[in-house]
Amino acid sequence: MKLVLATSNKGKVREIKAMCEDFEVVPYTELIDEFEIIEDADTFKENALLKAHAVFNALRDDSVIVLADDSGISVEVLDGAPGIYSARYGGEDATDKDNLNTLMKNIKKTGVVSSPAFYTAAMAIVTKDIHRTVHGWMYGTALTEAQGEGGFGYDPMFIPLGFDKTLGELDDETKRKLSHRSKALSLVRKILKTL
């Protein structure tokens, strides 16, 4: 089965490919030119659907299965921020590093060195006949100092529950076993089986 990913985030592509070795996984940017998708919905779920529909329509191929991932980190001491705004937390053209530094700085400003936090991944599957969404979560602690270089995005500042190292220090295999993305993907698989 071929899955077209509605993402241009290389970290997501790498992780989804590693978790779906039994599928042919192709980022949409290998099939058509990358284009901007305005993610202006209020929830992870609606933004995931928006991305999946945009790519499905752009591909002009009724036989494709499109998978989108909208995700982010929510920090308790910041009342759930950045949440759906995770990709642009450090500004319009922010890099992953800018976002990471902004989040650590803003947690520090509240006077703490760490805070409970969680990642959310909403995934949308769109075909010519269906559009479905699922969610996965990963709980843990957000730090004010980055540790390690592994993973992507906010991983160097996030310690998953039950561990004493950040996702920047833990190996890819460990993240794969417990991540929000892998939990959502296990539900995606159940839906794909019904197609």
Residue with the CB atom nearest ligand ITT in the bound state = 153
Can you give the binding site for ligand ITT, defined by CB under 6 A?
7-9, 12, 39, 51, 69-72, 86-87, 96, 99, 119, 151-155, 179, 181
> Which residue's CB is nearer to ligand ITT, number 74 or number 129?
74
> Which residue's CB is nearer to ligand ITT, number 86 or number 141?
86
Residue 158 Cβ vs ligand ITT, minimum distance, rounded to whole Å: 7
Residue 181 Cβ vs ligand ITT, minimum distance, rounded to whole Å: 6
Cα torsion through 141, 143, 42, 36, rounded to 10: -130
The gap from C-alpha 122 to its chain's centroid, in whole angstroms, comes to: 8
> Which residue's CB is nearer to ligand ITT, number 22 or number 36?
36
> Which residue's CB is nearer to ligand ITT, number 132 or number 150?
150
Cα–Cα distance list, 90 to 99, 105, 151 (Å): 4, 11, 19
Active site (annotated) includes residue 33: no
Alpha-carbon distance of 30 to 55, in angstroms, equals 12
Q: Which of 22, 62, 69, 70 is catalytic?
A: 70
Q: Catalytic site residues?
A: 70
